[in-house]
Amino acid sequence: MTEEKNNYEFSGKYIIKADLRCLTGLHIGGTDEGFEIGGMDNPVIKDPITGYPYIPGSSLKGKMRSLLEWANNKVNFKQENGKWKGKLCECGACDICFIYGCSAAASVKVKEPTRLTIRDSFPKGLFGDNGKISPEEERKGTIEAWKTYLGEKIYTEVKSENVIDRLTSEAMPRSMERVPADSVFEVEMLFDLYKKDDIQKLKKVFEGMMLLEDSALGGSGSRGSGKVVFENIAIVKRGLEYYTNNQPETAINLNEHKTVRDICNNFKMVLFTT
């Protein structure tokens, strides 16, 4: 009996870190508190220990995948029995499935190892000695900015909206909790390498980030929420020997390529000449 050859061999990781800045208010929904007296109808998700809003890795990863599926014609959207139905890609054979993974329900015989992991993103805060910060640091630290401009233990804003019935002109007010504009969250993505050509697939991650910047993260994007931009991008490579033989990581020199679009347009130069 011939032993089946293993086509996968872990050779390391690329780790992408960036600041995600909210250019408008951000709403990623949490537990409904509306039935509590004075509760918010549409609260944002918060860390149960600190009370700080955060961005779940699943929200960021799911949005990037969805945008890539649309951009690469991977969405089967058609009308059946008078109803529109959409089916996302679960082919298990394209770069998007390799990178983002396939669900357990996907009908594919062989499922590639998922390449991309996106961690939960928490608000950025800069602390100096003894918790004191300079005015320059305060402008950079989201947690400190919330305390300064919103008040102690207040981390969000309330956006009030009015739904107007276009026939009767009846007003139906509603409110939504949002993380305020200019808040910054620390993003970390890990890209695993299992095949020789995996590094080329990494470009799809940056394409997803670029698509997100021209879309919206979270809810109510069509009504102004969720515009974001990636800043202070840094990439390091950790080869297998980083984990097995105490070898150092390699920082990727981005030079003047500071934006997601710059990295996409110069991907081979950035990743293959370091």
Q: What is the pLDDT of residues 109-125, one digit of tens each?
A: 667 889 999 999 999 97
DSSP code for 221: G
Average pLDDT, the chain: 83
Query: Which H or E run includes 14?
Result: strand 12-22
Place of tokens 């139905």: 85
CA–CA separation, 132 vs 128, rounded Å?
Answer: 5
Burial bucket for residue 151 (CB in 10 Å: 0-12, 13-18, 19+): exposed
Q: Which of 34-48, 75-89, 103-117, 168-182 has the highest mean pLDDT?
A: 168-182
Q: What is the pLDDT of residues 6-51, one digit of tens each?
A: 688 999 999 999 999 999 999 998 655 444 444 556 889 999 998 9
What's the pLDDT at 262?
A: 94
Q: What is the pLDDT of residues 222-256, one digit of tens each?
A: 888 999 999 999 999 999 999 999 999 999 989 88
